[in-house]
Amino acid sequence: MKFRPRRGEAPDVNLTPLIDVVFLLLIFFMVSTTFDKSSELSIELPEATAAQPPQHDKPITVAIDARGRYYVDGRRLVNTKAATIVRALKQLAGGRSTVPIVIDADARTPHQAVVTVMDAARDLGLLHLRFATRTAQ
C-alpha cells in the first residue's frame, strides 16, 4: 500500500509539531544561557626565592597550641592577654625593630590567638613576621 496524493489536491504538511520543537529549543537555550558579567583583577604577585636572606638577628619563636596558650622561645606565658605577649616580645627584642617573629601555630589554634600575636608585634614595631609550616605527608 503506497501513499499517493490524490490528483488535484496539494499535499498537506502539518507545521504544528515543527513549531513546537522550535519553541522548546528556544526555551531551552534561553534558560540555559547565563548572562554573567565577570570582572577580572590584574594582580601582580611578589616573587619568592628559595634562598633565605642572611639574618643578623635571631628570630623570636611564638608557638600557640590548640587551646590558644602562648609559648615565647619555648617558655609558656602566664596568661593569654595581649599585654603579656607585648612584654615578652619587648624583652626579647631588646628595642630592635628588625628582629623577625616566627609564629608557629597549631592547625586547631583559634584564629584570634594568631591575630593577637600579630597585633602585639605591630605595636612594638616588629614587622618581620613569618609563619612556620610543615610539609603535608
Inside any domain, residue 24: no
Could you give the CA distance from residue 115 to residue 110 in angstroms, rounded to a whole number?
Answer: 9
pLDDT tens-digit readout, 125-135: 888 888 887 76
Inside any domain, residue 27: no
Inside any domain, residue 86: yes
Q: What element of type H or E holds 60?
A: strand 60-64
* Of residues 76, 134, 136, the one with CA closest to residue 105: 134
- Domain span holding position 130: 70-103+123-137
pLDDT tens-digit readout, 55-112: 567 889 999 988 888 999 888 999 989 899 999 999 998 888 888 999 988 888 888 9
CB of 120 closer than 8 Å to CB of 92:
no
Inside any domain, residue 47: no
Inside any domain, residue 22: no
Residue 3 pLDDT: 66
Inside any domain, residue 81: yes
CB of 103 closer than 8 Å to CB of 68:
no
Segment 40-45 long-range contacts (CB within 8 Å, at least 24 positions apart) = none
Could you give the CA distance from residue 89 to residue 117 in angstroms, rounded to a whole number?
Answer: 9
* Of residues 48, 50, 67, the one with CA closest to residue 107: 67
pLDDT tens-digit readout, 13-52: 788 888 999 999 999 988 888 766 665 555 555 566 666 6
pTM exceeds 0.75, yes or no: no
Inside any domain, residue 128: yes
Number of domains in the chain: 1
Inside any domain, residue 60: no
Average pLDDT value for residue range 113-120 = 91
First to last CA, the chain: 77
